[in-house]
Amino acid sequence: MQPPRWFSDHHLLAAVARHLHAQRAAHYPRLVVEGRQSRARALDGLRIMRTIARSWRAIAELRPEPVGAHDPDRGGAWPFERIQHLTVTARHARAQADAAEGNIQAADLADAIETLLWWETVRPSARWLVDTTLAGRRQADACPIVTADRAARDTRPLGVAA
pLDDT of residue 144: 72
> Distance (Å, rounded) from C-alpha 106 to C-alpha 112?
10
Residues of the chain with pLDDT below 70 are 1, 146-162
pTM across the whole model: 0.84
Contact 87, 52 (CB under 8 A): no
- Residue 157's pLDDT is 46
**pLDDT value for 149:** 59
Count CB-CB contacts under 10 A for residue 138.
Answer: 9
pLDDT for the residue 137: 87
| pLDDT of amino acid 62 | 95
Cα–chain center distance at 25: 17
Nearest CA-CA partner of 46 in 34, 32, 61: 32
Q: What share of the chain is helix, strand, coil (3-state, %, to 5)?
A: 70, 0, 30
Q: pLDDT tens digits, residue range 79-112?
A: 999 999 999 999 999 999 999 988 999 999 999 9
